[in-house]
Homo-oligomer: A and B are copies of this chain.
Amino acid sequence: MNLFEKHRPVFEKAQQTCATRACWSPYPDMPDKYPEAAQAKAAGLLAFEQHLQRGRFDLDQPGIHAWVGEEISPYTQAPLGMVYPQSDMDRLFDAAEHAMGSWALASITERIGVLMEVLEVIYRDHLFEVLHAVMHTAGQSYNMAYAGSGVNALDRSIEALVYAEQAMRSVTPSAVWQRRFGSAEIQLQKTYRLVPRGTAVCFSCASFPTWNAWPSMMASLATGNPVILKPHPATVLPMAITVKAFRQVLQSRGFDPNLVTLAIDTSSEPIGKLLIQHPKTAIVDFTGSVRFGQWVEKNAHPALAFTETAGCNTVVLESSDDLDAALRNLATTLCLFSAQMCTSPQNIYVPKAGVQTPQGLVPFAEVAQRLAHAVQALTSDPKKAAMILATIQSPQTLALLQDMQAQGQQRGKVLLAPTAYVHPQFPNARTSTPLMLQVSTQERDLYAEERFGPISFVIACDDVQDALQHATHDARTQGGLTAFLYSTREDFIAQAEAAYARAGAQLTINLLGAMPLNFAAAYSDYHVTGLNPAGNATLTNLAFVAGRFGIVQSRRPVTQSTETTP
């Protein structure tokens, strides 16, 4: 049985789900539901520990001239001690170009079959190994590393394959075309080839390495392009494991493993700009900072650039039937992975008169206070804090927290001051409870950009219109991926939906209960609209894949010989 046939049931179910946008995943959503979980968990931990013991991550890719690595575990604040092969850049591009030849000639189903197999191998053999690698580089909690960096990233990868297949299938491979010109009948046999654009450079980020990178790699590879993966130097191991898995499956199926290689750099000698402006770069997928993302968009030409950066995600609190529940949900989302997610909210706009509830108007200051209490309640117990906050990925975030607290003290009110909490399993973990500031709209320069980490602002507005105006302005001008609204007024909800649609932010309304507000479901939620500065690409839709290949035709008169060609 060929690989596409093997994976066909899952792929077809994914195709249906991308159309209906209902809930589905072929993967168990919690670690304990993984088949033979205890054994798999132990094996994954062992594989991770063996990496650290070896210290050297072997990859048989061409042009290796150095071994570098600088990862530090946010859980131990000690170096991982890992080094990775650094290859000569031109050698990687040459090898990628060479590898592309036979891959580009493979059929659509052949490529998709192999890529589905890569996902199965990652899921079956590397999921818990990746989990620990993500924990000790990105600093995520165990459960988030399983879900957000594991199975959800795999789901998003399948989703990318579905759209790639859809875009490629919209081009018929051949046609017979016949027309009369004057008195003559011309009959042409036409062949339409899908030609990959060329080598893709995929940047993975420090805090969520796999989530965008895996689907981006799939989008490029499915359409025939090789991928050079450039991980953030702080978070290499999960991506090195990934690259190795891709290479092994590709090679075992008779393809050139150099379709996927690793390009590693250090924070003192970054190679990102060189990669992007390399003459052989045809596609750039970038996840990372707003500043570099904008540089990518401006300077990638003639390469295609797909970016997801970040933004000022906003909340508008107008009214609620259950304010406490709403504040609990908001608090959870403000804490989740210490708000180091591109979907975490930052700016919470509240009318200064307060928020309407069945119990009457709750004044602004009380709303702010109750939200701060809700956050505190989630983080005061170290065991609970560890599960929800996890760690702080970068020491720079701790410095920013200090700076923001100092500025907030002067210019507003500190609702909640950040403190380190002691992680029950990792006493040396880099941690912080959230900083919450209460400010007026006069302090716009403080909050009108992404402040990465557990930093949020409760902002007093003139009224709900002013709140909505400020919130959507943030999204439109500073970028915004998600937005959150609590309102019992259908007219205001409709107005907010229209305003956020124009601002290009994905809106969640009146959500209470167990689901994290910023949870993004594969096959159902679109991530990034491309309509504001938070990125130019939606993961995943047709626009994300359709430009990764060109259509080249040849045509010739139908003759005896071409007629009998299948």
Say how far A206's CB is from chain B's closest CB, in angstroms.
Answer: 25
- The reply to whether B554 and A507 form a contact with Cβ atoms under 8 Å apart is yes
Q: Does A505 contact B (CB under 8 A)?
A: yes
Q: Does A417 contact B (CB under 8 A)?
A: no
Q: Does A492 contact B (CB under 8 A)?
A: no
- The reply to whether B195 and A502 form a contact with Cβ atoms under 8 Å apart is yes
Chain B contacts for A23, CB-based, 8 A: 177-179
- The reply to whether B20 and A170 form a contact with Cβ atoms under 8 Å apart is no
Q: Mark A487-512, 1 if CB is under 8 A from B, else 0.
A: 00010010001001110111111111
- The reply to whether B551 and A172 form a contact with Cβ atoms under 8 Å apart is no
Chain B contacts for A239, CB-based, 8 A: none
Q: Does A182 contact B (CB under 8 A)?
A: yes
Query: Once bound together, how far apart are the Cα atoms of A248 and B561, in whole Å?
Result: 53
- The reply to whether A547 and B521 form a contact with Cβ atoms under 8 Å apart is no
Number of chain A residues whose Cβ lies closer than 8 Å to a Cβ of chain B = 73
Query: Which of A182, A493, A546 is the most central at the interface, judged by chain B CB atoms within 10 Å of its CB?
Result: A546
Q: Does A543 contact B (CB under 8 A)?
A: yes
Q: Mark A379-390, 1 if CB is under 8 A from B, else 0.
A: 000000000000
Chain B contacts for A553, CB-based, 8 A: 506-507, 525-526
Say how far A13's CB is from chain B's closest CB, in angstroms.
Answer: 15
Query: Once bound together, how far apart are the Cα atoms of A28 and B23, in whole Å?
Result: 50
Q: Does A184 contact B (CB under 8 A)?
A: yes
Q: Given A179-B521, A547-B543, does the pair A21, B557 have CB atoms closer than 8 Å? A: no
Q: Given A547-B543, A550-B538, does the pair A508, B556 have CB atoms closer than 8 Å? A: yes
Say how far A212's CB is from chain B's closest CB, in angstroms.
Answer: 17
Query: Once bound together, how far apart are the Cα atoms of A298 and B298, in whole Å?
Result: 7
- The reply to whether A541 and B552 form a contact with Cβ atoms under 8 Å apart is no
- The reply to whether B509 and A542 form a contact with Cβ atoms under 8 Å apart is no
Closest to A548 in B: B543
Q: Mark A527-539, 1 if CB is under 8 A from B, else 0.
A: 0011101001010
* Cross-interface CB contact of A550 among B19, B166, B529, B546, cutoff 8 Å: B529
- The reply to whether A172 and B21 form a contact with Cβ atoms under 8 Å apart is yes
Residues 179-213 of A contacting B (Cβ, < 8 Å):
179, 181-184, 186, 188, 190-193, 195, 197
- The reply to whether A22 and B177 form a contact with Cβ atoms under 8 Å apart is yes
Q: Given A542-B542, A554-B500, A557-B512, does the pair A526, B21 have CB atoms closer than 8 Å? A: no
- The reply to whether A552 and B513 form a contact with Cβ atoms under 8 Å apart is no
Q: Does A176 contact B (CB under 8 A)?
A: yes
Copies in the complex: 2
Q: Given A175-B22, A184-B513, A197-B531, does the pair A551, B538 have CB atoms closer than 8 Å? A: yes
- The reply to whether B301 and A195 form a contact with Cβ atoms under 8 Å apart is no
- The reply to whether B297 and A192 form a contact with Cβ atoms under 8 Å apart is no
Query: Once bound together, how far apart are the Cα atoms of A521 and B175, in whole Å?
Result: 12
SS class, residues of chain A in contact with chain B: mixed
Query: Once bound together, how far apart are the Cα atoms of A318 and B421, in whole Å?
Result: 77
Closest to A300 in B: B301
Say how far A176's CB is from chain B's closest CB, in angstroms.
Answer: 7
Q: Given A504-B195, A506-B553, A551-B541, does the pair A515, B546 have CB atoms closer than 8 Å? A: no
Q: Given A19-B172, A547-B543, does the pair A526, B297 have CB atoms closer than 8 Å? A: no
Q: Does A54 contact B (CB under 8 A)?
A: no
Query: Once bound together, how far apart are the Cα atoms of A555 and B520, in whole Å?
Result: 11
Query: Once bound together, how far apart are the Cα atoms of A297 and B19, in whole Å?
Result: 33
- The reply to whether B193 and A501 form a contact with Cβ atoms under 8 Å apart is yes
- The reply to whether A182 and B514 form a contact with Cβ atoms under 8 Å apart is yes
Q: Does A167 contact B (CB under 8 A)?
A: yes
Say how far A226's CB is from chain B's closest CB, in angstroms.
Answer: 14
Q: Does A524 contact B (CB under 8 A)?
A: yes
Say how far A476's CB is from chain B's closest CB, in angstroms.
Answer: 11
Q: Does A427 contact B (CB under 8 A)?
A: no
- The reply to whether B512 and A552 form a contact with Cβ atoms under 8 Å apart is no
Closest to A191 in B: B497
Chain B contacts for A509, CB-based, 8 A: 554-556
Closest to A21 in B: B175
Q: Does A66 contact B (CB under 8 A)?
A: no
- The reply to whether B550 and A515 form a contact with Cβ atoms under 8 Å apart is no
Q: Given A297-B301, A298-B301, does the pair A556, B175 have CB atoms closer than 8 Å? A: no
Q: Does A302 contact B (CB under 8 A)?
A: yes
- The reply to whether A529 and B551 form a contact with Cβ atoms under 8 Å apart is yes
> Which A residues have a C-beta under 8 Å from some C-beta of B?
19-23, 166-167, 170-172, 175-179, 181-184, 186, 188, 190-193, 195, 197, 297-298, 301-302, 490, 493, 497, 500-502, 504-515, 521, 524-526, 529-531, 533, 536, 538, 541-543, 546-547, 550-557, 561
A/B interface sample: 15 pairs, CB < 8 A: A20-B175, A21-B192, A167-B542, A179-B515, A179-B521, A183-B514, A197-B531, A500-B552, A501-B552, A504-B550, A504-B552, A506-B553, A511-B555, A529-B552, A530-B547
Instruction: Report, nearest first, the 3 A-B pairs whose CB atoms are least far apart.
Output: A21-B175, A181-B514, A509-B556
Given contacts A19-B170, A510-B556, 10 further A-B contacts (CB under 8 A): A23-B178, A170-B542, A181-B514, A190-B525, A506-B554, A507-B555, A508-B556, A511-B557, A530-B550, A538-B550
